[in-house]
C-alpha cells in the first residue's frame, strides 16, 4: 500500500515538473519569437520540412478518408433515401474534424517525431551546449522556427486534406455509388458553412503548435544517449497525439 | 607577475546522489596554458561546463575577472561567453550545416561582417588547422580528427580571450595530436590567449603546459608547473603520471 502511494506520488511530481518545464518552454518560445532578428531562412527550411514534405501523406490520407467516409455515410443515408445529403455530410465532417485531426496526427508521426529525434540528437551530442557556448540561444535558433512552421503549415495541409477528401468522396460517390454529380457538388456548396472550414483551420493551427512544441520539448530535454533519443521520439508522438485529441474535444465544445 | 583570470572557490556539484565536485578550488592564470588531468569520470568535463555556465554548481563561486558568474542569468552570461571559445570533447559540430558554415557560425551570428570577409576568415582559420578545401563537406562525411580540427577553427574564429579544450587530442593519431598541441601553443604565443586544456595525454601535458592541475575525488590534489608535478611525492599523482594499475588510486568505483 505504501509502495502504491510512493509510486503515485512520484508520478504526480514528475508530471507537475514536466508541465512546468513545458510551460517555461512555451513562455520562452513566445518571448524569442518577437525578439529580432527573425530567422526567415530557418523558418522557410522548417516550413519545407513540416509542410511540403508532408504533402504526399496528407494527400493520401485525405483522399482515402473521403472515399471510405462516403461509403459509410452512403450506407446509412441510403436507408432512408437521403443520398443527396451524403456529400454535405462528408464535407462538413472533413472540414470540422477529419481534415484537421487526421492531418495533425499524420504530421505528428512524420515531422513531430523527426523534430524530437533531431533535437534529441543535438542534445546528446552537445550541439545544443555548443549553441549556448557561442551565445546563440537554442530556443531562438531551433525551437521558434519549428513552431512557426507548424502553426502556418498545418492549416495549409488541412486545406489540402479537405479538398482531397471531397475529391475522394466524389470519385466513390459519383462514379461507384451513382450519386448525381451536380447534386454532389451543389449540396456541398449549399450546406457547408464557411465557418465550418474556418474553425477547422483554427484547430489545425493549434494542432500545428502542439505537435511542433512537443517535438521540440521532448528533443530539447533528452537525456541518455541514443537510447534517450529513441525514447524522446516515441514519447513525443504519444504525448502530441493525446494533446491533439484532447484539445480537439475542448475546442469543438467551445466552437460549435 | 601573473594574475589569475578565473578563480574558482569551494565549488560543489552533484548529480542526484553522486557528488562529482566536492569543494574544488582552482585559479587559472591569465595568458597561460593550464592542463587539467585526472581519471575518466572524475569531473573534468563537468568543471569546464561549470566554467562556461552550461551547468550551475550546487554551491561555490566562479570568478571571471573578479565577477562571480554563478548567479548570472542568460543575458549577462552571454556577455561573459563572448570572451570564451570552446572545443567540445566530440567537437559538437552542427550536423545540419557544412564545415564552412559551422566555422562561420559565430561570425554570422555575432558580427556584421560581409559574406566575402567571413569567407576569407573561415579560409584562413581552416588553413591554420590544416583543413583546406573541405568547406562544403558535411560533418558526417569527415573523420573524427578532421571534425576536431573544424571544432577548433570554430572555437578560435572570434579570437576569444579564453579557450577551453575538452580532450582536444583524444582519438587522434600521434601526428595529428602533436599538430593540435602545437596549435594550442601557437595560439597562446600569438594572441596571449588563456587556455584550459583537459587531457589524458601525460607526455603532451608535461611538454606544453604552463600549469597542471589534477582532479581527484572532486578536488584539485596537485597544482603546479610540470616540473613541480613530476617532483610531487603525492602517491596518487605519481601513480597517475606513470599509469600504474596498482596504488592508492582505485580502478573500480
Ligand atoms: N548531465 C549529467 N547528468 C548526470 N550525471 C552527469 C552529467 N554529466 C556528468 N555526469 C557524471 O559526472 C561524472 C563526471 O563526468 P565528466 O564527464 O566530467 O568526466 P570526465 O572527467 O570528463 O571524464 P572523461 O575523461 O571520460 O571525459 C560522471 O560520473 C558522469 O556520469
Ligand atoms: Mg570528459
Q: Quote the ligand 2 centre to B45 CA distance (angstroms).
A: 4
Of B229, B227, B192, nearest in space to B214 by CA: B229
Helix (H) or strand (E) holding B211: strand B211-216
Residue of B16, B17, B39, B46 best suited for mutating to test ligand 1, as the one with most atoms within 8 Å of CB: B46
Residue ranges covered by each domain of chain A: 1-34, 41-255
**CA distances, B235 to each of A244, B84, B219, B248 (Å):** 62, 35, 15, 7
- The span from the CA of B12 to the CA of B21, in Å, is 5
Q: Max CA-CA distance within chain B?
A: 58
Residue nearest to atom 24 of ligand 1 (CA): B40
Residues of B in contact with A135 (CB under 8 A): 78-79, 81-82, 109-110
Question: A79 in helix, strand or coil?
Answer: helix
Assembly ipTM:
0.89
Reading the block at residue B5, the C-alpha cell is 583570470
Cell numbers that stand for A256 in this block: 460549435
**Average pLDDT over every residue of A91-107:** 96
Which pLDDT does position A33 carry in this prediction? 86
Strands B194-198 and B162-166: parallel
Q: Please state the rounded mean pLDDT for residues A186-195.
A: 92
Closest CA to B54 of B30, B28, B34, B84: B84
CB contact under 8 A, B81 and A132: yes
Query: Predicted confidence band at B143 (pLDDT cuts at 50, 70, 90)?
Result: confident
Contacting A with CB below 8 Å, chain B residues are 49, 52-54, 74, 78-79, 81-82, 84, 86, 88-90, 92-96, 105-106, 109-110
Question: Nearest by CB to A127, which of B52, B54, B94?
Answer: B94
pLDDT over 70 percentage in chain A: 100
Which of A20-34, A89-103, B236-250 is predicted least confidently?
Answer: B236-250
Give which of A71, A105, A97 is closest to A236, Cα–Cα.
A105
Please name the member of A126, A136, A137 whose beta carbon is closest to the beta carbon of B92.
A126
Instruction: Give ∠ CA A167-A170-A174 in degrees, rounded to 5.
Output: 160
Asked if B78's CB is within 8 angstroms of A126's CB, the reply is no
**Above 80 in pLDDT, residue A1?**
no
Domain ranges in chain B are 4-83+160-242, 94-156
Nearest-neighbour CA in chain B from A88: distance (Å): 46
DSSP code for A96: I
pLDDT exceeding 70 applies to what percent of chain B? Answer: 96
Q: Residue B137 and residue B126: Cα distance in Å, rounded?
A: 13
Cell of B90: 566530440
Distance A97 CA to ligand 1 centre (A): 49
For residue B201, pLDDT beyond 80? yes
Round to the nearest angstrom and report the end-to-end CA distance of chain B.
41
Q: In this structure, what DSSP letter does residue B42 have?
A: S
Q: What value does the mean pLDDT take over residues B213-241?
A: 90
**pLDDT tens track for A23-49:** 999 998 888 888 877 788 889 999 999
- What gap in Å lies between CA A206 and CA A154, rounded to an integer? 9
Q: What is the spatial distance between Cα B204 and Cα B198, in angstroms, rounded to a whole number?
A: 11
Which residues in chain B are closer than 8 Å to A118, comparing Cβ atoms? 96
Which of the pair, A199 or B183, is modelled with greater confidence?
Answer: A199
Indicate left, alpha or beta for A192 from its phi (over 0: left) and psi (-120 to 50: alpha). beta
- Find the angle CA(A163)-CA(A193)-CA(A243) to the nearest 5 degrees: 70
Residue A256 to residue B251: CA distance in whole angstroms = 68
Residue of B nearest to A133 (CA): B81
Mean pLDDT of chain A: 93
Taking the centre of ligand 1 as the mean of its atom positions, its distance from the CA of residue B83, in whole angstroms, is 25
Q: Are the C-beta atoms of residues A233 and A218 closer than 8 Å to each other?
A: yes
pLDDT tens figures, A195-243? 999 999 999 999 999 999 999 999 999 999 999 999 999 999 999 999 9
The rounded distance, in Å, linking the Cα atoms of A123 and A121 is 5
Q: What is the mean pLDDT of residues B172-200?
A: 89
CA of B51 to the centre of ligand 1 (A): 15
* Distance from C-alpha of B91 to C-alpha of B153, rounded to nearest angstrom: 10
Give buried/exposed letters for A18-42 (b at 16+ CB in 10 A, else e).
eeeebeebeebbeebeeeeeebeeb
State whether B86 and A122 contact (CB < 8 Å): no
Strand ranges of the sheet holding B211-216, from the earlier edge strand across to the other edge: B84-87, B162-166, B194-198, B33-37, B211-216, B219-224
- Tell which one of B11, B21, B35, B44 to mutate to probe ligand 1, the residue whose CB is within 8 A of the most ligand atoms: B44
User: Based on C-alpha coordinates, what's the Rg of chain A?
Assistant: 21
Alpha helices in A34-112 (DSSP H): 40-50, 55-77, 86-93, 99-107
| pLDDT attached to residue B252 | 47
Give the mean pLDDT of B200-216: 93
Q: How far does the centroid of ligand 1 lie from the alpha carbon of residue A4, in Å?
A: 33
Query: Does residue B98 surpass a pLDDT of 80?
Result: yes
Which residue's C-alpha cell is 550551475?
A: B56
> So what's the pLDDT on residue A164?
97
Q: How far is CA A42 from CA A142, A149, A206, B34, B37, in A?
A: 9, 9, 21, 39, 40
Where does the pLDDT of residue B246 fall: very low under 50, low under 70, confident under 90, or very high at 90 and above?
low
Residues 102-121 of A with CB under 8 A from B: 118, 121
Q: To test the ligand 1 pocket, which listed residue (A223, A224, A225) has its Cβ within 8 A of the most ligand atoms? A: A223
Is the pLDDT assigned to residue A127 strictly greater than 50? yes
Put simply, whether A136 touches B (Cβ < 8 Å) is yes
Judge whether B122 and B100 are in contact, CB under 8 Å. Answer: yes
| pLDDT reported for residue A45 | 94
Q: What is the mean pLDDT of residues B139-161?
A: 91
Question: pLDDT band at residue B253, thresholds of 50, 70 and 90?
Answer: very low
Instruction: Judge whether B95 and B137 are in contact, CB under 8 Å.
Output: no
Phi and psi based region of residue A255 (left: phi greater than 0; alpha: psi -120 to 50; beta: remaining): alpha
**CATH 3.40.50.300 is the classification of domain B4-83+160-242:** yes
Q: How confident is the model at residue B171 (pLDDT cuts 50, 70, 90)?
A: confident
Q: In whole angstroms, give the CA distance from residue B70 to residue B50.
A: 9
Amino acid at each position: 500500500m505504501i509502495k502504491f502511494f510512493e509510486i503515485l506520488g512520484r508520478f504526480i511530481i514528475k508530471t507537475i515538473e514536466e508541465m512546468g518545464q513545458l510551460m517555461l518552454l512555451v513562455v520562452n518560445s513566445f518571448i524569442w519569437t518577437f525578439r529580432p532578428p527573425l530567422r526567415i531562412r530557418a523558418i522557410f527550411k522548417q516550413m519545407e520540412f513540416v509542410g511540403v514534405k508532408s504533402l504526399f501523406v496528407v494527400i493520401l490520407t485525405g483522399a482515402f478518408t473521403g472515399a471510405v467516409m462516403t461509403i459509410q455515410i452512403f450506407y446509412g443515408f441510403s436507408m432512408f433515401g437521403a443520398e443527396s445529403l451524403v456529400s454535405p455530410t462528408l464535407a462538413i465532417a472533413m472540414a470540422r474534424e477529419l481534415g484537421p485531426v487526421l492531418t495533425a496526427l499524420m504530421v505528428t508521426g512524420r515531422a513531430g517525431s523527426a523534430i524530437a529525434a533531431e533535437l534529441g540528437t543535438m542534445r546528446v551530442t552537445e550541439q545544443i551546449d555548443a549553441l549556448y557556448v557561442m551565445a546563440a540561444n537554442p530556443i531562438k535558433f531551433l525551437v521558434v522556427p519549428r513552431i512557426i512552421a507548424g502553426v502556418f503549415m498545418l492549416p495549409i495541409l488541412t486545406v489540402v486534406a479537405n479538398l482531397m477528401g471531397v475529391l475522394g468522396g466524389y470519385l466513390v460517390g459519383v462514379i461507384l455509388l451513382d450519386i448525381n454529380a451536380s447534386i454532389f457538388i451543389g449540396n456541398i456548396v449549399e450546406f457547408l458553412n464557411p465557418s465550418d472550414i474556418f474553425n477547422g483551420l483554427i484547430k489545425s493551427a493549434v494542432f500545428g503548435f502542439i505537435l511542433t512544441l512537443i517535438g521540440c520539448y521532448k528533443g530539447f530535454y533528452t537525456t541518455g544517449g541514443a537510447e534517450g533519443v529513441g525514447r524522446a521520439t516515441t514519447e513525443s508522438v504519444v504525448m502530441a497525439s493525446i494533446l491533439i485529441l484532447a484539445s480537439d474535444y475542448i475546442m469543438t465544445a467551445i466552437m460549435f | 607577475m601573473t594574475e589569475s583570470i578565473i578563480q574558482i572557490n569551494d565549488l560543489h556539484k552533484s548529480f542526484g546522489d553522486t557528488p562529482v565536485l566536492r569543494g574544488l578550488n582552482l585559479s587559472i592564470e591569465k595568458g597561460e596554458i593550464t592542463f587539467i588531468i585526472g581519471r575518466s569520470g572524475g569531473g573534468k568535463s563537468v568543471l569546464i561546463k561549470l566554467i562556461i555556465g552550461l551547468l550551475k554548481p550546487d554551491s561555490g563561486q566562479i570568478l571571471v575577472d573578479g565577477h562571480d558568474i554563478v548567479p548570472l542569468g542568460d543575458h549577462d552570461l552571454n556577455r561573459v561567453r563572448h570572451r570564451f571559445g570552446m572545443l567540445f570533447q566530440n567537437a559538437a559540430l552542427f550536423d545540419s550545416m557544412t564545415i564552412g558554415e559551422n566555422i562561420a557560425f559565430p561570425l554570422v551570428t555575432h558580427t556584421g561582417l560581409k559574406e566575402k570577409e567571413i569567407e576569407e576568415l573561415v579560409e584562413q582559420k581552416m588553413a591554420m588547422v590544416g583543413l583546406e578545401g573541405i568547406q562544403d563537406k558535411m560533418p558526417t562525411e569527415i573523420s573524427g580528427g578532421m571534425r576536431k580540427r573544424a571544432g577548433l577553427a570554430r572555437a578560435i574564429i572570434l579570437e576569444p580571450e579564453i579557450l577551453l579544450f575538452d580532450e582536444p587530442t583524444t582519438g587522434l593519431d600521434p601526428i595529428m595530436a602533436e599538430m593540435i598541441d602545437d596549435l594550442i601553443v601557437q595560439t597562446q604565443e600569438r594572441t596571449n590567449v588563456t587556455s584550459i586544456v583537459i587531457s589524458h595525454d601525460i607526455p603532451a601535458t608535461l611538454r606544453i603546459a604552463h600549469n597542471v592541475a589534477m582532479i581527484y575525488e572532486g578536488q584539485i590534489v596537485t597544482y603546479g608547473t610540470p616540473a613541480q608535478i613530476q617532483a610531487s611525492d603525492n602517491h596518487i599523482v605519481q601513480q597517475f603520471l606513470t599509469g600504474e594499475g596498482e596504488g592508492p588510486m582505485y580502478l573500480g568505483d
